[in-house]
Structure 1
Amino acid sequence: MSANEPDSDAAPGALRRVEELINTFSVDTGTDALTDPAALAAWLAERDLLPETVAVSAADLDRARVVREGLRAIVVANNTPASAARKTDDAARTPAALADLAALARELPLVLDPLTTPPTLVPHTPDTPDAALAQLLADVAKSVADGTWSRMKGCRMCEWAYYDYSRNRSRAWCSMALCGNRAKAQAFRDRSR
């Protein structure tokens, strides 16, 4: 469990997997839970995204990290006021992460399964690491369609993903005790200069 883990409940339904994927890397500490292909295989199997018997390669791990960082860029943008200036390293990283995700998403085809009620987007080829990544993107698409995606946010201080359950959707930090206090302290220092 990370020190930056949100102090509220996890994201609902399939969005929880998206939240957990983003949080496999801590921007604050630089620690990555997806250290090698075996770690990715275990992570995907634990979430019923891939059978345990399917091999995962280093290239699959690279693609999973592209999806993770692209989704992180999106959830951070969900929590960035239009008037706020982005940190310099974020401003450089975000467009590249989004471009990389967009390029990869074209290689992870989803198809409509009309036999489900309601019809659902599913990976074109099941039981592959790419199908697992495509399923995560389908989870995002479903969340966009049902209006819950805007509640997926990245902390303004540490970029930890969390689901904003607040009534007015104004939660800014993963944890008021950690990042909220850090932000207030930074704002005080900025005013004191």
Structure 2
Amino acid sequence: MTDSVAPGALEQVRTFLNTWWVPNDTRVAEDRLPETLADPADLGEMAELRAALRAALGVERPAVLASWLERHPLRAGLSSDPESPPVVLTPEDGTAAGRVLAVVAEAVRAGQWARLKACPDCSWVFYDHSRNGSRRWCVMSPGGSDSRGCGSIAKVRAYRERRRA
């Protein structure tokens, strides 16, 4: 699913959000967040942040960010790196949640956040690279063990329901 990769640091957030998903082989939700965290003490807050961000996927200006930014304020600074944006957001508290929020806030500012979406079938988070931003599923056709072709399955299901009616 390489066409699902988000630009720049937003890919790290997409990877973080995909620590919860529904695998194609078992169709039972999995939470891989505990095995990805450096500090197990962060588990509760990071799971809460992940749920809040997943609920805000596809939203241009997610209101949920306001309360999270009150808890983890960001500081704006100027970057001397010509490869990065001129203004860089960094968390004042240096926490894992703050680092994720800094990337999300920058993605909202850049108009990229609304293109991060979750497949309605398997819940896999992908970045919508389509011209008009209308992509709905993780993939349209199966392409190996990592993809089940959720779009194709949904279209076949809808076709069969129309035929039945």
Corresponding residue for residue 67 of structure 1: 49
Corresponding residue for residue 133 of structure 1: 97
Deviations 1:64-115 (A, max 9, x none): 111111111111557xxxxxxxxxxxxxxxxxxx86x7644421121222x4
Q: Gapped runs of 5+ residues in structure 1? A: 1-5, 42-54, 79-97
Q: CA offset at residue 138 of structure 1? A: 1.3
Identity of aligned residues (%): 39
* Corresponding residue to 1:12 among 7, 13, 17: 7
Corresponding residue for residue 39 of structure 1: 36
TM-score norm. by structure 2 comes to 0.76
TM-score norm. by structure 1 comes to 0.66
- Residues of 2 paired with 1:168 and 1:76: CA distance? 13
Report the residue type matching 1:63 in the other structure. Answer: E
Report the residue type matching 2:16 in the other structure. Answer: L
Corresponding residue for residue 30 of structure 1: 29
Q: Is the 8 A contact 1:72 1:159 kept in 2?
A: no
Q: Gapped runs of 5+ residues in structure 2? A: 81-85, 142-148
Deviations 1:36-87 (A, max 9, x none): 3x6311xxxxxxxxxxxxx441xx1011111111111111557xxxxxxxxx
- Residues of 2 paired with 1:116 and 1:104: CA distance? 24
Q: CA offset at residue 162 of structure 1? A: 0.4
Give the 5 Å matches for 1:81-120. 103-113=67-77, 115-116=78-79, 118-120=86-88
> Looking at both structures, which has the greater relative contact order when contacts are Cα pairs under 8 Å and sequence separation is at least 6?
1
Q: Is the 8 A contact 1:7 1:175 kept in 2?
A: no
Q: CA offset at residue 160 of structure 1? A: 1.3
**CA-atom RMSD in angstroms:** 2.3
**Which one has a larger percent strand, Structure 1 or Structure 2?**
2
- Residues of 2 paired with 1:148 and 1:39: CA distance? 25
Q: Is the 8 A contact 2:74 2:91 kept in 1?
A: yes
Corresponding residue for residue 117 of structure 2: 153
The size of the alignment, in residue pairs, is: 146
